[in-house]
Every structure is written in structure tokens, then in C-alpha cells.
């Protein structure tokens, strides 16, 4: 075997081992969306959410919370979240040229969510509660999410809640 091939194999093995050590398995996450048809505003494209619209928003929120849990929950932690209400940033307004409605985001149409959660470690409950999240300053703070992300304003609010209530309990 050539010297460079041996070096490449050794480097790959070292990196694989290092990444396995750097990312220990986190805790578990369970998310339920309670009565989504009654949510205040949970559709990306029009004011009246269909099953497909709700599924898209639920999927995006689930994906984001799962990423947070994978990175920030300690091994042995279990987090159960029930989403009770979603009110996305912005409001639908009629578009003048074709009569369709478009979402217009203004500083008075901030994102809101109501969550019920239980954080436990093994069989011991560490934190539980029901909270109404709102980010009234969502347009004034630095946002690291892409302007094309449909949950661009909701994700920082969820990040902040996760850090305050779950990570720094």
C-alpha cells in the first residue's frame, strides 16, 4: 500500500473516531400537535390552512426542534412537547393585482406559539409547564436564518425558548 493511501486511511479513521466522540447521543424528543385545525395561523400560502398546509408547518417545526434536541439535550433526557397554538409572523392581505392574498410581515405581526412541555431525566421530572412564546422584537434582532426559510422568524423564538427553559434549567 502506498504511503499516501495509508496516510489517508489513518486520517479518515482518526476523523471518524473524533466525530463519534464529539457528538454523544442526546436525549429523546416527542412532539404532538394538539387540534391543529384550531391554530390561529399555521399556513404558509393562504389564510385557511388545509391538511397539506398544516403538515408542512408541522414538519418544519418538528425538524427544527429535533435538531435542537439532538444538539442540546443531555443523554438520558426526555423532552415531550405539545404544540397548542401557532401564529406565524405576518398576516395575509389581499394583493391588488390578482386578488390573491399574500403574507405581509410587519413589526406588529410578531410570531407566537403556545407550548406545553415536560423535561425529564430518566424517571425524574426536571421541568414542566405551559408557555406562550412571542417575539415582539423579531424584526429588530439579528436573524441567522435564510430569508427564504418559511420559519425564519419563528426559529429564533424557538431557539431562545429552548435555551432558556430546557438547556439552562
| Domain boundary assignment for the chain | 25-167
> pLDDT tens across 135-151, in order?
999 889 889 999 999 99
Q: Is the pLDDT of residue 16 over 60?
A: no
Q: Write the CB contacts of 109 (distance below 8 Å, at least 6 apart in sequence).
A: 89, 90, 91
Nearest to 80 by CA among 28, 44, 10: 28
Q: Is the pLDDT of residue 6 over 70?
A: no
Q: Is the pLDDT of residue 12 over 60?
A: no
> pLDDT tens across 35-81, in order?
999 999 998 887 777 899 999 999 999 999 999 999 999 999 999 99
Q: Write the CB contacts of 47 (distance below 8 Å, at least 6 apart in sequence).
A: 41, 92, 101
Q: Are the C-beta atoms of residues 114 and 132 closer than 8 Å to each other?
A: yes
Cα-based angle 118, 121, 125 (whole degrees, multiple of 5): 45
Q: What is the pTM of this model?
A: 0.79
Mean pLDDT score of the chain, rounded to an integer? 85
User: 67 — phi, psi (to 5°)?
Assistant: -60, -40
Measured CA distances, 123 to 119, 126, 157, 169 (Å): 10, 9, 29, 17
Number of CB atoms found within 10 A of residue 45's CB: 15
Amino acid at each position: 500500500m502506498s504511503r499516501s493511501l495509508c496516510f489517508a486511511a489513518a486520517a479518515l479513521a482518526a476523523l471518524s473516531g473524533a466525530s463519534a466522540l464529539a457528538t454523544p447521543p442526546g436525549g429523546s424528543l416527542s412532539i404532538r400537535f394538539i387540534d391543529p385545525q384550531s391554530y390561529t395561523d399555521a399556513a404558509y400560502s393562504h389564510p385557511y390552512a388545509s391538511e397539506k398546509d398544516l403538515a408542512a408547518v408541522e414538519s418544519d417545526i418538528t425538524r427544527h426542534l429535533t435538531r435542537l434536541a439532538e444538539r442540546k439535550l443531555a443523554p438520558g433526557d426526555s423532552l415531550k412537547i405539545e404544540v397548542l397554538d401557532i401564529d406565524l409572523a405576518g398576516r395575509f392581505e389581499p394583493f391588488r393585482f390578482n386578488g390573491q392574498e399574500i403574507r405581509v410581515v410587519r413589526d406588529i405581526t410578531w410570531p407566537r406559539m403556545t407550548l406545553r412541555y415536560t423535561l425529564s431525566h430518566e424517571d425524574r421530572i426536571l421541568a414542566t409547564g405551559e408557555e406562550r412564546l412571542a417575539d415582539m422584537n423579531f424584526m429588530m434582532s439579528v436573524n441567522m436564518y435564510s430569508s427564504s426559510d418559511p420559519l425564519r422568524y419563528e426559529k429564533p423564538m424557538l431557539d431562545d425558548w429552548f435555551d432558556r427553559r430546557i438547556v439552562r434549567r
